[in-house]
Every structure is written in structure tokens, then in C-alpha cells.
Amino acid sequence: MIYSKIAGTGRYLPARIMTNADLEKIVDTTDEWIRTRTGVERRHVAAEDQTTSDLCVEAAVIAMEDAGVTADDIDLIVVGTTSPDLIFPNIATLVQHRLGIHGCPAFSIEAACTGFLYALTTTDKFIRAGETKCALVIGAEIITKLVDWTDRATCVLFGDGAGAVIVKPSEEAGIMSCHLGADGQYKELLYYPVGASKDLHKAGVGDSRILMKGNEVFKVAVRTLGKVAQEALDANGIDKDDLDWLIPHQANLRIIQATAKRLGIPMEKVIVTVQDHGNTSAASVPMALDVGVRDGRIQRGHLILLEAFGGGFTWGSVLMRY
Ligand code: UT7
């Protein structure tokens, strides 16, 4: 049996940090409101001339070094993102070129905040099929360029960053199961109103922004994340107590706490980065994984459940031994 195993991790956050106090100067908000309603204390914001592929490349180089692989070893690149540099070519090819890699398949996946889990799941299939020996999988966003900085209900939530992993085949687990889902009926609750074939050239300043009915998203997120996690445990006949770590999408500390409570998992077993990163959409899970690995909490052999939920709605989980 071939498993996919994470051989290395990396993350990159843009240098500029924006605190809640900085936001108090821009919109009618308070540090207290943001902390208590979301758990966010600070977020990283990309520079004007920085693009999402810039963040990807930085994170990828760190992950490759961690895994001890070079550009010549990479034979698949998959990037989960909602904020690519260009409409085309796809961002994975831009990353491929910047890393000096030629010829291997390189594509992007757009599943909003679940983008990385969709990318990792897809990669798992390539590896299990025997087609891929060394994949670079990234979740990355510059979501702050899609935000309306006059809308206090959304601009306080988001941040930029990239998380990367190297995935290789292994005889020992490894990724044990992947569960993905989506339901397009919820589009109106969380979306971006402009795209390549919709109003692109009509868009003016202020037209383009993330539209979200936060309250309603919150409720479905808690319900779905609980369900997705339980589905993964049940499918593997694993008890919640056997889990070493839960790594959920980092949208809101209250969502993370409510999900953990629903599952009966203590917060000590949950990797939380939302206070430092904000909601970085597809980048949030791989960055949180990298944080846990690098600060020594996550050790080889640990049983980890990754899960995410985002616009679409989309959702997913990956259960793995690190
Ligand atoms: O990443 C994928 C999915 N995204 C999510 O999972 C986000 C899910 N939703 C949430 O995290 C929360 O719903 C929010 C953090 C977005 C909002 O928190 P909430 O507790 O649901 O607040 P609310 O939208 O019900 O607003 C409560 C009050 C309102 O005032 P009134 O009508 O009660 O007078 C808002 O106008 O808070 C007000 N408010 C703010 N006040 C200060 C909204 N944003 C702010 C703000 N600062 N930044």
C-alpha cells in the first residue's frame, strides 16, 4: 500500500504586520471587539508590489529545504488559492518557473478557504496512483487586496501568507483519508462579485470586495466542521482521544472553540494561529501545520486531523500520521 507522507513544511508571511490598533485608525472598530468576536490580534499584509506567487516561492523554498529535496526532484505542483497573480497562466506555473522547474504538471485549485485541502487531496490521488514521487503543494493568498478597507465587518478578519508542504510516497502512513465536499446553494453567503467572465471591466474602486453574511456563515461553519471531523474519525474507526492534533481552518477563534467543543477535543490539542495570522483562507491550514511542526508540538508519528471550510461552500478534512 502506498501512502502520501508529508516530507517537509514551510511558511512565509509578508513583513508588514497590521495590528488591531492600526485598524482602529482606518475603520470604526476597537481592538476589544476584534479580539472578543474573532480572536485576531494582528495579521500580515502584503506589500503593494507583492503577488501571491512571491509568497508561494518563499514558502516552497523553505519546505523543499526542510524535506531535503531540490527543484529537480519536484514532479507535481498544486497550488490552492483564490487570489492568483493572473487569470492565466495558472499560479502553479508561475511558481514552477520561479523555482527553475520544467515540464512537470502544475495547476491551481480554487476552493476558497478549503483550497489547500483540495490541493492535498488531489495530490494524494496522484501519489497513490504511482504517478508522482515528489509533490509541492501550497496554500497561499493575498486576500487583503480583495478586501474593502472601508468595510469593518470584513477588513478586520483577513491576512496574507503562504504555507507549503512536500509530499512523497511512503510505505507507512501517511495520509489515511481525505474527505471533500461542497454545496453551491450557499454562494450568496460568502463570495467575491467580480470575475474573468463577470463584470471584470465594469469593476471600479469599491465594487470589488468580499461579500459575507458573517453570522450565517458562522453557523454553517461550526456545524459543517464538526460533521467533517466526525466523518473522518468514523471512516477510520478512530476515537477523538486518539488524535494528537486538530488543525482547523483559522477563520475565527470562536468557530475553532465551538468545533473543538462539539467534538470533545480539548483546546490544548488544537493548533491556533488566528491571533497572529487572521483568516488567510487557503493558506491557514498549511501555515498552522508548519507552526506546530517548527515549535516542536507536532512530532513524527502524531495523528493529525486537518479540516477547513470556505466560500462555495466547500469543506474538507485530511486525517494523517505526520
Ligand atoms: O473563512 C471562511 C469563512 N468565514 C467565516 O467563517 C467567518 C464567519 N463569521 C464570523 O466570524 C463572524 O460572524 C464575524 C466575526 C464576521 C462577525 O461576528 P458576529 O459576532 O457574527 O457579529 P455580527 O456580524 O452579528 O455583528 C454584531 C455587531 C453589529 O452591530 P449591531 O448591529 O449589533 O449594532 C455590527 O455592526 O458588531 C458590529 N460590527 C463591528 N463592530 C466593531 C461588525 N464588525 C465590527 C467591527 N468592529 N469590526
Name the amino acid, one letter, at 290. Answer: D
Catalytic residue (one of 44, 134, 155, 249):
249
Distance CA 150, CA 145 (A): 13
User: Which distant-in-sequence residues (6+ apart) come within 8 Å of 290 by Cβ?
Assistant: 9, 10, 11, 63, 163
pLDDT by residue (tens digit) across 123-137?
Answer: 999 999 999 999 999
Residue given cell 507583492 in the structure block: 50
User: Residue 269 in contact with residue 248, Cβ under 8 Å?
Assistant: no
Residue to probe by mutation, ligand 1, list 43, 156, 218, most atoms within 8 Å of CB: 218
pLDDT at site 208: 76
State pTM to two decimals: 0.98
pLDDT at site 177: 97
Other beta carbons within 10 angstroms of residue 36's beta carbon come to: 11
Cell numbers standing for residue 146 = 480583495
pLDDT at site 200: 84
Q: Report residues whose beta carbon is within 6 angstroms of any ligand 1 atom.
A: 29, 33-34, 37-38, 113, 152-153, 156, 190, 214-215, 217-218, 221, 251-252, 255, 279, 310
Candidates 53, 39, 82; CA nearest to 256 is 39
* 41 DSSP assignment: -
Distance CA 243, CA 268 (A): 12
pLDDT at site 249: 98
pLDDT by residue (tens digit) across 173-189?
Answer: 999 999 999 999 999 99
Catalytic residue (one of 20, 44, 90, 113):
113
49-74 mean pLDDT? 98
Cell numbers standing for residue 96 = 514552477
pLDDT by residue (tens digit) across 203-240?
Answer: 776 677 899 999 999 999 999 999 999 999 999 999 99
pLDDT band (50, 70, 90) for residue 201:
confident
List the residue whose alpha carbon is closest to atom 41 of ligand 1.
29
Candidates 190, 192, 197; CA nearest to 208 is 192
Distance CA 131, CA 20 (A): 46
* CA 123 centroid distance within chain: 15
| Degrees, nearest 5: CA angle 283-289-291 | 95
Q: Known catalytic residue: 113?
A: yes
DSSP string, 98-111: HTT--SS-EEEE--
| Mean pLDDT for the chain overall | 96
Q: Known catalytic residue: 279?
A: yes
Distance CA 89, CA 110 (A): 14
pLDDT at site 43: 98
Q: Known catalytic residue: 155?
A: no
User: Residue 321 in contact with residue 173, Cβ under 8 Å?
Assistant: yes
Distance CA 169, CA 172 (A): 9
- Going from the Cα of 152 to the center of ligand 1, the distance in angstroms, rounded, reads 9
Residue given cell 497590521 in the structure block: 18
- Going from the Cα of 218 to the center of ligand 1, the distance in angstroms, rounded, reads 9
* 260 DSSP assignment: H
DSSP string, 298-309: S-TT-EEEEEEE
